[in-house]
Structure 1
Amino acid sequence: MKIELSGKQALVTGSTAGIGLAIATGLANAGAQVTVVGRDQAGVDKAVTHIKQASGRDDASGIVADASTDYGCKAVIEALPEVDVLVNNLGIYGGRPFFEIDDAAWEEIFQVNVMSGVRLARHYAKGMQARGWGRIQFISSESALNIPAEMVHYGVSKAALQGVSRGLAKVLAGSGVTVNTILPGPTRTEGAQAVMAELAKERGVTAEQMEGVFLEENRPSTLLKRFATPEEVANLCVYAASTQASATTGAALRVEGGIVESIS
């Protein structure tokens, strides 16, 4: 199978590092003209340079905006009015005891993880529908299905994305536009590596050993038995953005290493 996205314009939020950057790079490698979104110019410039070097293409671009806000989303839309592929990757996470998650923390995680994608999809889906082709993805998590006790608000926000995605897929039924969520599991991003390094110091083990300890204690049902790489997650996203994935919509596509104890 050769995935070919030449002539397609793709927008990936939260894409200056980690899974977002891997997705943007994968889409560029498949021929898409990619635009990354980040909150600071240096990070955006670095990501654009990385994508150009990795893909051998010179048409990647960036937008500096805080897509977790209404005005930030408006800035993105003003800079890039139409896209063919929208990947809502922007998200935050962090462990916090339930009784210490105040209203502000709930509101923040909802604005970043849910409303950023809602605002952009609400705009871009209209153009996709009118043109009869488009791909919308929401990057969710296995935590949407296995709500983690250590970060309930995060799991709830990702579960909300499942509902948004399924509902929007119904709205766009028969239009040629597909809408799906992608469910990664623990992934070796820069942020995750920093967390593992900090925990490793506390436990007196190496960062690599800490990944195994974390999985054993927090995700014991994993079948992969290791953290995924951002590129492994991105591979599924690139496929879901392809013309070959035209019959896949309204789905929750799992790339979580078998953590979820379900065969459906």
Structure 2
Amino acid sequence: MYSYTARPSLLENRTILITGAGQGIGKAIALSCAELGAKVILLARTASKLEAVSKQIIEQGYLSPIIIPFDLATAKDKDYIQLAEQLSEQVNQLDGLVNNASIATDLKPFTELSIEEFQQIMEVNVNATFALTKYLLPLLQQAADASIIFTSSSVGRKGRALWSAYASSKFATEGLMQCIADELKETSIRSNSVNPGATRTAMRAHVYPQETVTDNPLPEQIMPVYLYLLGPDSIGINGQALNAQ
């Protein structure tokens, strides 16, 4: 497990947007950031899940989150522009953007994948990540130091049989992260990727139905690397591919 201990006030006065925040790793990131003082912006497709996470954060006495129901699978250019405009009216800056939301298909040979399945995975895992980062960049530029986290995978660093669509999307994610990191290297914005590893999530259970779920850590247990990258201790870390465990 990545070794880092966050101090209680690590993320005070920071505003952090997390995609896929309604469940799994995204929910854990949101709760952990709120606990350390951040104002969190929760973005996901299902409003009821976001409301449940927001309720949990408020009940624990943390700053009230901003909820944004948003479907990354169907959003168009105008939707991202509208989202950026909406956020600009609500917050002065973004100190962190966690591109966490991802989807996967059942494991199958690439010859059995439909073009539609492949395109949908690329849409959510790559195109949406690109669009969010592009249109939210002006808000990130308003922060004294800002951190962009891209969600990768072990198959985004070395491909494996049956993973062609998901692996392709994560190789693309790594490339996008590196290009953005290089373009922004003279700025106050850092860009890095995180491979969460095998984690106890609904997506993992769907892809590996035969796996014993308790063999994998809970999302809450892989938070150290995310908190490190979102806080000021990681200033100067840019273009790196990190592992949560």
Verify same fold: TM over 0.5.
yes
For the Cα contact (< 8 Å) 1:63–1:79, is it kept in 2? no
Structure 2 equivalent of residue 203 of structure 1: none
Structure 2 equivalent of residue 89 of structure 1: 100
User: Deviation at 1:194?
Assistant: 5.3
Q: Are 1:145 and 2:157 matched, yes or no? A: yes
User: Deviation at 1:232?
Assistant: 2.6
Structure 1 equivalent of residue 196 of structure 2: 184
Root mean square deviation of aligned Cα: 2.0
Residue number among 224, 227, 230 corresponding to 2:219 in the alignment? 230
Give the ranges of 4+ consecutive aligned residues of structure 1 lying more than 6 Å apart after TM superposition: none
Sort the Cα spacing of 1:99 and 1:8 in 2 relative to 1 into closer, same or farther, 3 A: same
Sort the Cα spacing of 1:130 and 1:8 in 2 relative to 1 into closer, same or farther, 3 A: closer
For the Cα contact (< 8 Å) 2:178–2:192, is it kept in 1? yes
Q: Are 1:248 and 2:242 matched, yes or no? A: no
The CA deviation string for residues 194-226 of structure 1, in whole angstroms up to 9 with x for no partner, is 555x43xxxxxxx6xx358xxxxxxxxxxxxx4
Residue number among 9, 12, 18 corresponding to 2:15 in the alignment? 9
Letter in 2 for 1:88: N
User: Deviation at 1:72?
Assistant: 4.4
User: Deviation at 1:105?
Assistant: 1.6
Q: Are 1:76 and 2:95 matched, yes or no? A: no
For the Cα contact (< 8 Å) 2:200–2:218, is it kept in 1? yes
What CA distance in whole angstroms lies between the structure 1 residues aligned with 2:220 and 2:82?
Answer: 29
Letter in 1 for 2:70: A
Higher Rg of the two aligned structures: 1
Normalized per residue, which structure has more helix?
A: 1
For the Cα contact (< 8 Å) 1:90–1:116, is it kept in 2? no
For the Cα contact (< 8 Å) 2:200–2:213, is it kept in 1? no
Q: Are 1:111 and 2:123 matched, yes or no? A: yes
What CA distance in whole angstroms lies between the structure 1 residues aligned with 2:80 and 2:59?
Answer: 28
Match of 2:118, SS state, is helix
Query: Structure 1: which 5+ runs fail to align?
Result: 200-206, 213-225, 258-264
Query: Structure 2: which 5+ runs fail to align?
Result: 1-5
Match of 1:37, SS state, is strand
What CA distance in whole angstroms lies between the structure 2 residues aligned with 1:45 and 1:101?
Answer: 35
User: Deviation at 1:32?
Assistant: 0.7
Q: Are 1:165 and 2:177 matched, yes or no? A: yes
For the Cα contact (< 8 Å) 2:104–2:203, is it kept in 1? no
Q: Are 1:36 and 2:42 matched, yes or no? A: yes
Letter in 1 for 2:103: I
What CA distance in whole angstroms lies between the structure 1 residues aligned with 2:178 and 2:65?
Answer: 30
For the Cα contact (< 8 Å) 2:57–2:64, is it kept in 1? no
The CA deviation string for residues 22-63 of structure 1, in whole angstroms up to 9 with x for no partner, is 111111111110011121221111121123334x21421211
- Identical amino acids, percent of aligned pairs: 26
User: Deviation at 1:159?
Assistant: 0.9
Letter in 2 for 1:186: A
